Chains A and B, each alone.
Chain A
Amino acid sequence: MFTNYFFSSARIGIIAKHTFTQLSRMKVFYFLVAFALLIVGASFFEMPGGRIASDSAEQDLRMVKSTAMGAMSLFSVIFAIAATALLLPKDVEDRTLYTILCKPVPRIDYLLGKLLGVLALIFLSIALMDILLTGILYFRTESIISSELANAAAAGFSSEQVAYYESIIRQQGPTWDLQFGVLAIFLKAAVIASIALLVSSFSTSTLFTIAISVLVYFIGHFTADARDYWLYMMGDDFSMMSKWMSQLAVLIFPDFQLYNIIDHSIEGKNIPANVIGRLSLLTVFYCGIYSILAWFCFRKKEF
């Protein structure tokens, strides 16, 4: 195990594990029951028909996916912000922070352990939701395909047509591209959790941490627009002040628009592996830099 004065993977692992246990005890997983009910309800919901049966089938599958992915996205953001915001104040309140830090546990280990514990819980929750979604989607898709194939055979469709319509329906079912969409949800949550940790490292109030993190989350969805404004808008109509402000916004705030590939994955369209790779790399950098800044703010904080 990599161990030195500044960094110990074993210590980080232990703190992460305890953080995970601590958060699990807050009955977070009960949310999964609500999620399961929601998605099972969505799977039984039949959209009003289009002119042909496959219209309805496509809409039904899309409804299941968009409900599930929307719930996953919402849960992961709320949990990433709220759970991370609670961690440090709770340890201060319980006095466990003093015990840990005087071990001595380097503060960077402590912060990384906390962050990894939160991320582990978010990952596990999303994974469980994803398993449920994939299972329901698989059975629903197979049921739709078998009824559509029976109709196609009765209507005398050629084998090429049958194969084509089957591929259209399967595209709306569980695919690897849908999993990439789920991964993007987790990556986004990881960045938000890192931001919440950074704010928490200098904040004295949980509510303040949550409010600032939510604000950064929303601003982050407009960073792409600010970047376009900064990089591409030219001419006298655009004041220097507004360009500088947009530049500042781009440099400080993360770009959450990049993680909005959910719609594309719900469509069943291809998401290239290099896009996911680059998003993952960007996430590592975001989490890394926010963690370092969190340590910087936390390193000499008095309790």
Chain B
Amino acid sequence: MLKNFIICLTILLLFGFARVPFEASLTEDMREQNILPEKVDQLTREKLGQTGAAVTLGGMRSLVASLLNLRAFVEGEKAEWQKLEDTYELVTTLQPHTIIYWDLGGWQLAYNAAANVSLNAELPEFERERQANLYIEKGDAFLRKGSKLNPDDWKLDRELARLWSNPYKKPDPRRAIKHLDDAIDSPEIIKNDRDILRRAKFRELAKQPLQARAAFDFGRELFEESAHHRTPALCATLFALQNELSLNESEQIPFAVLFSSPVTAWQHLSNYFNSQVPQKLPAAGVVNKIRQLENQLEIPRNQSMINP
């Protein structure tokens, strides 16, 4: 019996020596290609509990993450934001390369949690504002962590840009532009989405008075590149920037080129004034032009679309 045991052990050890280099090499290749899941650290195992930790060993990390994601939604419904944050930390530890979990976690924190605490009547105003800002920063940190772990993915950078360009949060055009540039430069992004983000970058540049020239040059580049870029908002913004920079005629894009007709110009500029200018986009010469067009088109004052 002992003899058999020793022989078996010897054969196992010899087989072990033979397979270790093969397995080490295969493991390295699989880790490089992100095929193998990240190791579950001790802290995560403790948070999962014994059952959860055992289940993740069995290759069911995806299922556990899905169920925890469900739990997070319930926690969000109950406004248990700290628990939600902990749950998404767990989920993204189990599935660090599943973008949607980073996206949902960031959204829950920066939008839902921040909005919820800002409406908490039990807290004084300054505390509501402080907590709301805290959750926005937490959402930002969460999304940036996801972006760092998934450098090839542009969607998290897009979400970060959206967060910092959202007029109802803490708009910060410089941060938004940084993330937009990261997304635009991603090799994974398709042309259509890249064009949308470039136009978004133009908007953020235009919001900064000191960047007016850079905004105009970039906007002009988009305008001349393709008719696809000539959205009403882009054209109206270019018009306002031209006025703000007091460009001479040779540098300007002619009004008749920006807008196909006086009616179109009146509609687009009026919409721009009502929806975009409150978001800190330039307004130089917009109201005057609208009034001029209303006179030209004989639009009664009571039908004017603006009320400056």
Physical interaction between A and B = yes
Which B131-162 residues have C-beta < 8 A from chain A?
A: none
CB within 8 Å of A: which of B81-119? 95, 97-98, 100, 103-104, 107
B69 CB-CB contact with A under 8 Å: yes
Question: For the complex, is A164 an interface residue (Cβ under 8 Å from B)?
Answer: yes
Contact in complex: A267, B97 (CB < 8 Å): yes
- CB atoms of A70 and B30 under 8 A apart: no
Partner of B100, one of A58, A188, A202, A227: A58
CB of B126 within 8 A of chain A? no
Contacts of A70 in B (CB 8 A): 58-60, 62-63
> Does A77 touch B at the CB level, under 8 Å?
yes
A104 at interface by CB-CB < 8 Å = no
A263 CA to B57 CA, complexed, in Å: 12
Chain B residue contacts of A264, Cβ below 8 A: 34-37
Flag if B73 contacts A48 (CB, 8 Å).
yes
Residue A258 contacts which of B15, B23, B34, B58 (CB distance < 8 angstroms)? B23
Please measure, in the bound complex, the distance between the C-alpha atom of A67 and the C-alpha atom of B70, giving whole angstroms: 14
Please state if A62 and B103 are interface contacts (CB–CB under 8 Å). no
**Is A62 touching B58 in the complex (CB atoms < 8 A)?**
no
Q: How far does the alpha carbon of A62 sit from the alpha carbon of B91 in the complex, in Å?
A: 14
Whether the Cβ atoms of A62 and B37 lie closer than 8 Å is no
**What chain A residues lie within 8 Å of B70 (beta carbons)?**
47-48
A58 to chain B, nearest CB (A): 6
Distance between B113 CB and nearest chain A CB, rounded to angstroms: 15
Task: Check if B4 sits within 8 Å of A296, measured CB to CB.
Answer: yes
Asked if A262 is at the interface of the complex by the 8 Å CB criterion, the answer is: yes
Q: A51 contacts the other chain (Cβ, under 8 Å)?
A: yes
Interface residues of B in 182-205 (CB under 8 A from A): 190-193
Query: Taking A252-B12, A275-B26 as contacts, is the C-beta distance between A282 and B62 under 8 angstroms?
Result: no
Minimum CB–CB distance for A72 against chain B, Å: 10
Q: Tell me, yes or no, whether B39 is within 8 Å of chain A by CB.
A: yes
Residues of B within 8 A of A263 (CB): 37, 59, 61-62, 95
Listed stretches A94-102, A108-116, A218-226; interface member = A218-226
Contact of B22 (CB < 8 Å), options: A63, A74, A282, A297: A282
Residues of chain B contacted by A262 (CB below 8 angstroms): 59-60, 62
A251 touches B24 (CB 8 A): no
Q: How far is the CA of A66 from the CA of B13 in the complex (A)?
A: 36
Q: How far is the CA of A272 from the CA of B36 in the complex (A)?
A: 13
Contact A227/B63 with A48-B70, A161-B193, A263-B95 known, Cβ cut-off 8 Å: no
Q: Is the CB of B27 within 8 A of A257?
A: yes
**A120 interface residue (CB < 8 Å to B):** no
Query: B107: nearest residue on chain A (CB-CB)?
Result: A51
Instruction: Please indicate the chain B residues that have their CB under 8 angstroms from the CB of A50 in the complex.
Output: 100, 103-104, 107
Chain A neighbourhood of B66, CB < 8 A: 47, 59, 62-63, 66-67
Contact bitstring B1-45, A, C-beta under 8 A = 1, else 0: 000100111011101110110111011011001111101000000
20 extra interface residue pairs, beta carbon distance < 8 Å, beyond A55-B104, A250-B16: A50-B104, A55-B103, A59-B69, A69-B63, A74-B60, A77-B58, A218-B57, A224-B23, A250-B20, A251-B13, A251-B15, A252-B16, A258-B26, A258-B27, A261-B30, A261-B35, A263-B62, A275-B33, A285-B15, A292-B11
**Which A residues are within 8 Å of any B CB, using their own CB?**
47-48, 50-51, 55, 58-59, 62-63, 65-67, 69-70, 73-74, 77, 157-158, 160-161, 164, 185, 188, 202, 218, 221, 224-225, 227, 231, 250-252, 255, 257-264, 266-267, 269, 271-272, 275, 278-279, 282, 285, 289, 292-293, 296-297
